[in-house]
């Protein structure tokens, strides 16, 4: 009888101590949820070209996606008129490839067409450069100069249409080495997916991708060293959304 009473008392004390231990943990959990960043949606501007953007001094501003940020000091961006003209040429090339693809499909037999998987190539992709810059400037969108910053926008095309999907592309190289694993980060209330790698040719590459309306908007940073890359990506902290 005394043994039974001992176990009852032991169980009661143990339950009380467990309850006391759980209470601070629950409070910490609530505090974490309350202080976590809140996602804010930004709607693109109507009646403005998707690649409408400009650099004034060291400030980059996208009129369509309604955000701005500060470039590293004394960096020079590709002239906006040249950039938009290059976007137009690339769009024309994409449209011609899409038409050629459509003609090729029409020549397929009905049986072959039935076996074909649905393709996103039925319409031209919408990919835009919003800004490209380096300390000494760049002469084209395809410039390989380092260090370099590219800001771009791609129309979302299912099924691979999320920031996480896009981040996977920079991780896919056979000899790519991971520096920073994919993770979610927040700037001015907006969620970004980010990752950093060393590319097969030795470049240091960091990418941040977010969703704005029907587009993925990305920031690509390329450098010759990890230290240089870290200094460049500090630019992300200056992003302001309207």
Q: Which of 216, 176, 210 is nearest to 196 (CA)?
A: 176
Give me the pLDDT at residue 38, please.
Answer: 53
Distance in angstroms (rounded) separating the CA atoms of residues 27 and 189: 24
Question: What does the alpha-carbon distance between residue 192 and residue 67 come to, in Å, rounded to a whole number?
Answer: 14
Q: Specify whether the CB–CB gap between 168 and 195 falls below 8 A.
A: no
Residue 60, domain member (yes or no): yes
Gap between the Cα atoms of 54 and 57, Å rounded: 10
Which pLDDT value is given to residue 103?
Answer: 60
Q: In what order do the strands lie in the sheet with 53-56?
A: 53-56, 59-62, 67-70, 240-241
Question: Is the residue at 11 inside a domain?
Answer: no
Q: Is residue 1 part of a domain?
A: no
Considering just the CA atoms, what is the radius of gyration of the chain in Å?
A: 25
- Can you give the pLDDT at residue 106? 55
Number of folded domains that form the chain: 1
We report the CATH number of the domain holding residue 206 as 3.40.1000.10
Please state, in angstroms and rounded to a whole number, the distance separating the CA atoms of residues 52 and 87: 11
> With a cut of 70, which residues of the chain have pLDDT below it?
1-41, 101-124
**Structural domain range at position 179:** 53-241
> Is residue 19 in some structural domain?
no
| Residue 185, number of CB atoms within 10 A of its CB | 13
Burial 158-168 (b: 16+ CB within 10 A, else e): eeebebeebbe
Angle at CA of residue 216, ends 73 and 42, nearest 5°: 80
């Amino acid at each position: 009888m005394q043994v039974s009473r001992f176990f009852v008392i032991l169980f009661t004390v143990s339950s009380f101590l467990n309850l006391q231990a759980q209470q601070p943990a629950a409070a910490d959990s609530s505090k974490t949820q309350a202080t976590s960043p809140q996602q804010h949606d930004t709607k693109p501007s109507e009646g403005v070209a998707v690649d409408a953007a400009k650099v004034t001094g060291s400030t980059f501003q996208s009129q369509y996606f309604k955000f701005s940020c500060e470039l590293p000091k004394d960096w020079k961006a590709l002239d906006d008129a040249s950039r938009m003209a290059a976007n137009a040429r690339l769009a024309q090339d994409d449209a011609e490839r899409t038409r050629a693809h459509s003609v090729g499909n029409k020549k397929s037999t009905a049986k072959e067409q039935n076996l074909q998987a649905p393709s996103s190539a039925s319409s031209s992709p919408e990919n835009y450069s919003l800004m490209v810059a380096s300390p000494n400037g760049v002469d084209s969108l395809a410039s390989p100069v380092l260090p370099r910053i590219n800001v771009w926008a791609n129309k979302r095309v299912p099924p691979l249409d999320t920031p996480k999907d896009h981040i996977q592309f920079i991780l896919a190289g056979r000899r790519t080495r991971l520096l920073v694993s994919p993770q979610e980060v927040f700037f001015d209330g907006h969620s970004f997916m980010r990752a950093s790698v060393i590319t097969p040719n030795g470049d240091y590459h960091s990418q941040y991708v977010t969703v704005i309306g029907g587009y993925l908007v990305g920031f690509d940073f390329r450098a010759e060293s990890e230290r240089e890359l870290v200094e460049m990506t500090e630019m992300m902290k200056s992003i302001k959304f309207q």
